[in-house]
Chain A
Amino acid sequence: DGGITQSPKYLFRKEGQNVTLSCEQNLNHDAMYWYRQDPGQGLRLIYYSQIVNDFQKGDIAEGYSVSREKKESFPLTVTSAQKNPTAFYLCASSIVGGSEAFFGQGTRLTVV
């Protein structure tokens, strides 16, 4: 089945730790995105990539980093610089920027 796979489904982070969220797609999409969702707020864009080895900051990139070494993969690292990382993280992809977007099932990150 084609789709977007995010792992893990749940992730717990200790204070001061970096953690990496995985996002893999087998849809042959060029564009990939990371969003953060908090209760009562709309999705906010963290980073996006429209082509391999290139990515741009979204609206709330501080405390996050990404890489795009392969077309299929767009991992997100939540660094210790992110002071309020507890949230639901969603990865998406589209054929190109601006076409229909498809989402993974999300990773819920909790700071313990």
Chain B
Amino acid sequence: KQEVTQIPAALSVPEGENLVLNCSFTDSAIYNLQWFRQDPGKGLTSLLLIQSSQREQTSGRLNASLDKSSGRSTLYIAASQPGDSATYLCAGLTGGATNKLIFGTGTLLAVQP
């Protein structure tokens, strides 16, 4: 059964730091991978999608990479800001007939001003 681990579970950094969030899958057979942001009590906002033929995606200060051989993904946030404070979730699509997204439990990020 595919399981997703996100490390660390929580992270607190001062404003301006660069940081890395990690996501790993027990089964490296991942079709694509999506990173989301969730603010308290809100739905999920899609940040980046890495499709099966890609290794990384960039959007502004965010960069996500996927190493399929190891089943690991990282989300890099440059020059962090207090507005980046949220829970970050990764989700992998394991493909096949069901095409389901399997979610990690998230990393709670706090950026201190």
Q: B-contacting residues of A (Cβ < 8 Å)?
A: 4, 6, 31, 33, 35, 40-45, 48, 50, 56, 58, 88, 90, 92, 96-98, 100-106, 108
Contacts and interface: CB of A to CB of B under 8 A. Distances in A.
Contacts of A56: 98
Contacts of A88: 41
Given A98-B93, A101-B46, A42 B100 contact: no
A90 B43 contact: yes
A48 B49 contact: no
B43 A106 contact: yes
Interface in B88-113: 89, 91, 93, 95, 98-106
B34 interface: yes
Contact of B45 (A31, A43, A103): A103
Contacts of A108: 41
Interface in B18-38: 31-32, 34, 36
Given A41-B105, A42-B4, A42-B104, A105 B99 contact: no
A102 B106 CA distance: 17
A45 B43 contact: no
Nearest to B9: A40
Interface in B76-96: 89, 91, 93, 95
Nearest to B45: A103
A50 B99 contact: yes
B99 A100 contact: no
B34 A98 contact: no
B105 A101 contact: no
Nearest to A98: B99
Contact of A105 (B43, B101, B102, B106): B43
A55 to B, nearest CB: 12
A48 B34 contact: no
Nearest to A56: B98
Contacts of B98: 48, 56, 97
Nearest 6 Cβ contacts at the A-B interface: A97-B99, A42-B103, A103-B44, A98-B99, A43-B103, A105-B43
Given A90-B44, A102-B46, A43 B100 contact: no
